[in-house]
Amino acid sequence: MNAINTAPAAATPPYVLHSEDSAAIEHEIRHYEDPRAASIGALKIIQKRHGWVPDAALPAIGELLGISTADLEGVATFYNLIFRRPVGRYVIKVCDSIACFLTGFSGSSASALVRPRWMGASRCCRSAAWGPATKARC
C-alpha cells in the first residue's frame, strides 16, 4: 500500500521588493497620471535585477501600482521582451515581418541562430549565456 503524504506543503515566503526597485518603481509612477501606465516600466525594473520577472514578484509589484496581479500578468505575458522565466545573457531577436521575408531574410535567419564557436557547447539556458530566440518586428 502506498502512503499518502498528508503534511501541508511549505508556504513560500512572499516576494519582497528590493528598496532600490521600490524607489525606482515609485519614481516611474510619478511620470503618469494613472499608476497602471507604469506597469511596463515596473516589470522592466524587476527584470533588470533578476534577468526575468519571477511569478512571486507580480503581487508585490501590483500592490505598489494599485492593480491586480491578473492585470499585471496580462501586461507581462503580452510583451515578448518581458521574460517570465530565466533566460541567457544573449537574446536573439529574429524579425518575422513580411517585409523581411520578401527581402530574403528568412534564409539568413537560420544561420543567425547557429551557436557561435566562441560560445562553446550547448548548455541549459539557466547556466548558459545563450538565451532564446524571440520573434520581433523591424
Last residue of a domain, one of 37, 56, 78: 78
Answer yes or no: do 74 and 111 share one domain.
no
Place of cell 557547447: 121
CA 120 to chain centroid, in Å, comes to 25
E strands, the chain, in order = 90-95, 130-136
pTM for this entry: 0.67
Cβ-contact 62, 101 below 8 angstroms: no
Q: What is the pLDDT of residue 132?
A: 53
- Any domain includes 7: no
Please check whether residue 125 lies inside any domain of the structure: yes
Q: According to the model, what pLDDT value does residue 10 have?
A: 61
Residues in the chain predicted with pLDDT less than 50, given as ranges, are: 121-130
Nearest to residue 49, comparing CAs of 66, 65, 61?
A: 61
Q: Which domain holds residue 42?
A: 19-78
List, for residues 40-52, the tens digit of each pLDDT value: 999 999 999 999 9
Dist. CA 72–CA 38, nearest whole Å: 10
Total count of domains within the chain: 2
Q: What pLDDT is stored for residue 11 in this prediction?
A: 64
